Amino acid sequence: MRTQHARLLSMPDIVRIDRDLGPIMAEETVRGRPPAERVAAVATIPKPDELTWWDWTVFLLHTAAEIEHALMVQYLYAAYSLAEDGFQGPAVPAGASELVGTWRQTIVGIAKEEMAHLLTVQNLLRFIGGPLNLEREDFPFRAFLYPFPLQLEPLTRTSLAKYVAAEMPATPPQPPELIQEIRDRATAATGGLAINRVGVMYDTLISIFEDETKLAASDLRPKTAEDFQAAPTDWRARDPLLVRVVHTREEAVAALRAVGEQGEGSANPPPGAAPSHFDRFIGIWTAFPETEGAAGSGTWTPTRPVPSNPNTLPHPSADAALERGRITHPTTRLWAQLFNTRYRMLLVDLAHALHLPGPMTAAGTTTVKGNVRNWTFQEMTGRPRAGLRGIAKALATMPLKATSAPADPANAGPPFELPYTLALPDNERDRWRLHLALLETSRELIGRIQTVSGTNAILDELVATDLKAKKVVEDQLALP
C-alpha cells in the first residue's frame, strides 16, 4: 500500500497539497484563471487516469482509515507521556496533577473519537463494496494527504502545533497571528514540510458520494448495513463517538460531514456543537508550558522522560533517532513486546468482529461475534487495569536502556509497532487459529516477565482474561 500510495499521489497533474487551498494542480491546468476560479478548481483532488471513480473512492477511504489510525496512536502516546505527579521545574503550578489529568482525558477522548472515525470509514468501505483497511503508516514516509510523518513523541508545544495544524478547519476563528505561529512551528518540526490539512480528502470524498455520475447506484451496497457494518449500539458509540451505519448515499455524505466537523474536515462545527479536535488541541496548546528551550529555562515539565519512537529493533541502528528510542533493558523489552502483541490482538479482534455476521447477543447470551467485540474493548480500555492502557502506563515508568548514555531518556514508552501483516486468513477456522497463536505468544511473554521480575496485577488480569478467551477459541476450533 505504501509504494502505491506515494506513486498515485505523485502524479504530474498534482504539484503539491497546499495547507490552505488543497491540491495544487499543474500550472497549465489553471494558468490564466482568476484567483476565485483557481481556488474552486483545486477544491478537490483530481482522480488518477488509471482508476475508476469507484476505485478512487476505495483508495481515498483506505487513506482516510490509515490517517485516523495513525493519529489515534500518536495521540495515545502523547497522552501516556503525561506524568501523574512528581513534576519537575521551578514553577510547578498549584493543582498540576488535576490540570495534566484534564489534558490526558481530553487527548484520550480525541483518540477514542479517531477510533470511531476509523469504524465509520470501514462502514463506508462496506457500503461501496471495498475491502476493509486497518493499516497505518509505520516508519515515517512522506506522501500527499498524510498530515505529517508518523512520530510517537512526548507531548510538547511543538507536537501540539502539528496536531492543531492537522485538525485545523479551512477558516479557523482564532486570530491570524496565532494560527500563523502554530503553522510555522509545526512546519519547522517537519523539516520545512507544510502540515497537510486532512479536510481536502474528506471534501473530495463528499463530492464523489454526492455525484451519481461518479458513484452510481449500482456501486452501493445498502444491505451491508444489516449485518456487516459496525452499529453504534454494538460498539458502545454514544455521543460524541461518531460510528455511523450507512444505508444510503445521503447517509454516507452526512457521515463524512460529521466526521469532518468533529475532526479533520474543512468546516467548523455548527453552532452549539461540541468543540472539535482542533478546538480542544488549541486549548491545550495555549496553556501548555514551554519545555523545549535551553536546559533549565522551562517553568515546569508535565511529561515523563519518555523517548520519541520507542522501538524493539533487535540490533543497533545507524539512525541515531531510532537508536535513541531503542528499548534495550531486557525486562522492559519483554513488556514492549507484550504491548506489541496485545496491539496486534486488538487489530485482529477488530477486523474479525467486522467480518462476522449476526448480532452480538442472542437469547440473552453473548454470541461468538460479541465475544470478539468484547476482546477488542478489553484491549482498548483495559478495565480495571490491564490491556494496552495498563501496559503503556507501566512502560512509561520502566527504564529504556540496559546501559544509559547521558542524553538517553530515562524511561521507555509503548512502541505501537505494526506486525508483519494485518491480513486475516481467508478461512474462518484459520482466523481462530490466528487468535490461538496470539494468545500463546502473549502467555509465553507473560511467563518470561514473571520469571525475571515476578507477577503483578496487570499480568494476573491478562492471564485470567486470556484463559476465558482461549476457551472460546478452542470451542470454535473443535467444531466440525
Q: Clarify whether residues 282 and 364 are in a common domain.
A: no
Q: Clarify whether residues 226 and 337 are in a common domain.
A: no
Burial class of 320 by CB neighbour count within 10 A (0 to 12, 13 to 18, 19+) = exposed
Answer with the one of 287, 307, 338 that is the final residue of a domain: 287
Q: Clarify whether residues 281 and 333 are in a common domain.
A: no
The answer to whether residues 140 and 150 touch, using CB atoms and an 8 Å cutoff, is: yes
Q: Clarify whether residues 198 and 331 are in a common domain.
A: no
Cell readout for 209 is: 458520494
Who contacts 422 (Cβ-Cβ below 8 Å, separation ≥6)? 134, 135, 344, 347, 348, 351
- Taking only the tens place, the pLDDT of each residue in 317-339 is 999 999 999 999 999 999 999 99
Tell me whether residue 122 is in a domain: yes
Tell me whether residue 166 is in a domain: yes
pLDDT of the residue at 145:
64
Answer with the one of 236, 268, 287 that is the final residue of a domain: 287
pLDDT of the residue at 50:
92
Tell me whether residue 30 is in a domain: yes
Query: Residue 157 is part of which domain span?
Result: 2-287
Tell me whether residue 311 is in a domain: no
Q: What values do phi and psi take at 338, rounded to 5?
A: -65, -40
Q: Which residues pair with 301 in a beta bridge?
A: 88
Q: Clarify whether residues 127 and 219 are in a common domain.
A: yes
Q: Clarify whether residues 364 and 268 are in a common domain.
A: no
Q: Clarify whether residues 220 and 340 are in a common domain.
A: no
Tell me whether residue 393 is in a domain: yes
Tell me whether residue 153 is in a domain: yes
Task: State the Rg of the chain over Cα.
Answer: 23
Tell me whether residue 167 is in a domain: yes
Answer with the one of 265, 287, 309 that is the final residue of a domain: 287
Q: Clarify whether residues 355 and 239 are in a common domain.
A: no
pLDDT of the residue at 113:
95
Cell readout for 346 is: 486488538
Tell me whether residue 296 is in a domain: no
pLDDT of the residue at 12:
37
Q: Clarify whether residues 186 and 333 are in a common domain.
A: no
Q: Clarify whether residues 58 and 193 are in a common domain.
A: yes
- Taking only the tens place, the pLDDT of each residue in 216-259 is 999 999 999 998 999 999 999 988 899 999 999 999 999 999 99
Average predicted confidence (pLDDT) for the chain: 88
Q: Clarify whether residues 90 and 233 are in a common domain.
A: yes
pLDDT of the residue at 149:
82
Low-confidence ranges of the chain (pLDDT < 50): 1-3, 10-42, 141-142
Question: Total structural domains in the chain?
Answer: 2
The single-letter code of the amino acid at 461 is E
Q: Clarify whether residues 152 and 279 are in a common domain.
A: yes
